[in-house]
Amino acid sequence: MTASTADSFSGRFDGACVLITGGLGFIGSNLAHRLIGLGATVTVVDSLIPEYGGNLFNIRGIEDRIKVNIADVRDPYSMNFLVQGQDYLFNLAGQTSHMDSMRDPYTDLDINCRAQLAILEACRRFNPQIKLVYASTRQIYGKPDYLPVDERHLLHPTDVNGINKMAGEWYHILYNNVYGIGASALRLTNTYGPRMRVKDARQTFLGIWLKRLIDGEPIQVWGDGLQIRDFTYVDDCVEVLLLTAANPSAHGQIFNLGSDETINLRDLAALVCEIGEGGQYEVIPFPADRKQIDIGDYYGDYRLIQGRLGWRPRYSLREGLARTIAFYRAHREHYW
């Protein structure tokens, strides 16, 4: 991130009213901390359903400076009320587990499609001036046809979650184009960092890797371990969320996130063990249900958002992993 990038929104959120769905979760809580520092009035809404990553410890230190509303985005009456008077909405609530989406597709449909439509209808009816950023995912591309993947790549998701997230993304763009609600979508890729869910792999496989490292258990790498990935440290993700919300030129746009580094999973496991000063990993066959929805290699092309908004990642993978491991060693009792 350049100095000019920070300057482009440095005063935009001072005194602004901001609503974050999924605000007690991983990215939402990190965003809330940053917005409080920028002088915003922040309301977070979260269902605190155990499987979805919300954690009250995530707002430790700012709990008396934000409003917390325990509600489900599937409840249109709550959303109709909550969107009123807000300047910005960061729509981060969602069901993220690919395996859960395959086992229970109707719940995934309710959260990632029907609820998104209800949120947008609430904005259309009660606050059409709101600025909205939707957290989409690189998963909607499916198995890449070419690398790096840019925004022109065809969409062919490999699981129910990807299909529903694709629909949720396009509802936002549709409401921007038809109703003039200033909405943008960011296709996130392997976001990691402090406050992410680590007790299982529902949010990201890297979370359970770090838990196993700290517990002294071997990290399990599935397949041959040569699958290539890119990663986004959560502070870089927060930066791009703010930048996108603050720039009217982003309305109606879809942007990839990405990294200047790529790494295969075997090398990533070795790096995690090195930074963690111990630990080991083992390469094991894919579980049958996982292999069917694995996307192989993926890394994104983020040149579009770099050219349009000036964003580029600031944290190296090594630095981000070191910060993340240190966080969980200090606070493990709140996340295990």
CATH number (domain holding residue 245) = 3.40.50.720
In a domain, 284, yes or no: no
For residue 6, the model assigns a pLDDT of 54
In a domain, 175, yes or no: yes
For residue 293, the model assigns a pLDDT of 67
- Residue that is written with structure tokens 């989409």 in the block: 136
Cα–Cα distance, 328 to 221 (Å, whole number): 21
CA atoms within 13 A on the CB side of 218: 9
Residue 190 CB partners (closer than 8 Å, separation 6+): 138, 204, 206, 229, 230, 231, 232
Host domain of residue 257: 3-192+231-261+299-316
Per-residue pLDDT of the chain (336 residues; tens, 9 = 90+): 444 455 567 799 999 999 999 999 999 999 999 999 999 999 999 999 877 789 999 999 999 999 999 999 999 999 999 999 999 999 999 887 778 889 999 999 999 999 999 999 999 999 999 999 999 999 999 999 999 999 999 999 999 999 999 999 999 999 999 999 999 999 999 999 999 999 987 778 999 999 999 999 999 999 999 999 999 999 999 999 999 999 999 999 999 999 999 999 999 999 999 999 989 999 999 877 666 667 889 999 999 999 999 999 999 999 999 999 999 999 999 999
CB 99 within 8 A of CB 131: no
For residue 7, the model assigns a pLDDT of 59
Q: At what angle do helices 317-331 and 205-214 cross, to 10 degrees?
A: 60
In a domain, 331, yes or no: no
DSSP code for 149 = B
For residue 51, the model assigns a pLDDT of 76
Cα–Cα distance, 79 to 230 (Å, whole number): 34
In a domain, 40, yes or no: yes
Q: Are strands 191-192 and 88-91 parallel, antiparallel or unpaired?
A: unpaired
In a domain, 208, yes or no: no
For residue 218, the model assigns a pLDDT of 97
Cα–Cα distance, 85 to 25 (Å, whole number): 23
Closest CA to 221 of 229, 210, 209, 233: 209
In a domain, 204, yes or no: no
As for how many domains the chain has, the answer is 1
For residue 52, the model assigns a pLDDT of 76
Residue 329 CB partners (closer than 8 Å, separation 6+): 214
Cα–Cα distance, 164 to 112 (Å, whole number): 6
In a domain, 125, yes or no: yes
In a domain, 210, yes or no: no
CA angle, 233 then 103 then 149, to 5°: 40
For residue 58, the model assigns a pLDDT of 98
